Amino acid sequence: MAAGIQGLVVAGTGNGTLHASLMPALAKARASGVALCLVSRCAEGQLVGEGQALASAPPGLNAFKARISLLLDLL
């Protein structure tokens, strides 16, 4: 794992989209064993596009709730 990091919560804009240059870094992190949760910053936002493949948080969670969910998953 990279520098002891076990998981990341990434809050994408609107529909959970991320800049294209961030996707390879997140894929590399996932390949090295870092758990990823991609969520939308919008209250009713849904994930679309490439971000759906990275999402591991239950649908409908905001970044704060996804963090707690990730913490529990990593225990």
Which residues, at least 6 apart from 15, have a Cβ–Cβ distance to it below 8 Å? 40, 42, 45, 46, 47, 48, 49
pLDDT of residue 3: 54
The tokens describing 52, both together, are 């759906």
Q: For 63-75, what is the mean pLDDT? A: 88
Domain that holds residue 31: 2-74
Q: What is the pLDDT of residues 6-59, one digit of tens each?
A: 999 988 877 777 888 888 898 898 898 899 888 887 766 666 666 556 666 677
The pTM score is: 0.73
In this prediction, residue 68 has a pLDDT band, given cuts at 50, 70 and 90, of very high
For position 6, which CATH number holds? 3.40.50.40
Number of domains in the chain: 1
